Structure 1
């Protein structure tokens, strides 16, 4: 039993005092200033009986002031801070819209930062945790987590820094029932001039299902396929409002493809 004043750290599962973690580094506001925006979260969660129920809420946040208290000081001030230091200049360059020749090592670092941020964002929501302990261990060991797929897109200069996270629960039905179980989560990180989109899952056979769904058809090739590096930006940037539209489009695409295969996805209509 945890002692009074302490709780389990989401990342290391140790009973230690929890500390506040900023979703985006507070020092970054020195480059961009404040960014207040509306957040609309929608998705699903399980109630006390285990039934899937829809969840929707809206509120306003200042991007660089959003925190979550779910991680111990050892993680927060240790490997999480190390990753922020390692990825900081790369992520900042993307946010500023700078031209870069990104090496495979750069891309792996950015992917790990995006995974850590997606997992942190997940702890702010009421829905079930989709990420799992083995994925946290991968991050702590400096690896890209298993069952984490990641895309990046350039965005026209805009005043936004925000996140959007949508859980999709899969029922065990249809011809692919052997590889369909548990939950997925789609996360969008809009950081000024870069849109980071990721999908992670608790399902060990996620890669098999992604192949069935043909996700590159709508998202393009994931960052993990850029084995020789990547010249950034790879294409003309798109308006910021299209990041929300793309997020909704991917959720609806996944849901539609699952229905075609005789499966069901628990999530409300994208909006």
Structure 2
């Protein structure tokens, strides 16, 4: 484990940028950036364009380590270069901690939850993540309904894989998202919190995880999870909220910082001048930073 990265994630002020759209979500990310599907003819061209978008974000002066603690990358982004350096190395030299999204997407909804699809190449992916200088990983499940047994299954799957990630010398970001549109969102979150606490208590003293969770309905619901000795940091996903909505909700929660994707990049456009692009990104970074460090 990189101790400098650990200390920054544990104690730094700022937030994590999620730049990890992949597979089926890439066309949507490009469309939001102003690149339509008729501008590429195959998957290779599509991923070239999304890497250009991410390179523009990461190399922007607005994408600065004073306010951005870390960045979550898609596997292809990890394997590509920015200004002659692998993306993780470029970020590290910029003072930003690199993470890798490792999940292969979600299974269909069953009994009110979506488990992760199997990660058949996990060992090889973790080997390459270490080789490419990643500090940690991220993997996502989703909870839609307050079914205790099935929420337990979600958390068990996350921690089972999380232990393998820890054994590989990396820090897993455990992400059991609660659907913001769930009619029983608050109940889902109470059950989820209890399950997370149970599994955290079973970790060894030198086993560390991060948690990426939907901004809860109840203020400071996850504060004691953030204070748990095995938790490096608790971060929040925007989950479909607009940036303004997510920022406002985030301010009600101590020890909870942002890890936003769409809410970070939603106003960026391929046709913006460099000045317009950098100013737009700076405005987003400043507002998310403020919500992460300045609480009501």
Report the TM range for the smaller structure's normalisation. under 0.3
Larger % of strand: which?
1
Give the TM-score of the pair, scaled to structure 2.
0.24
Larger % of helix: which?
2
Give the TM-score of the pair, scaled to structure 1.
0.25
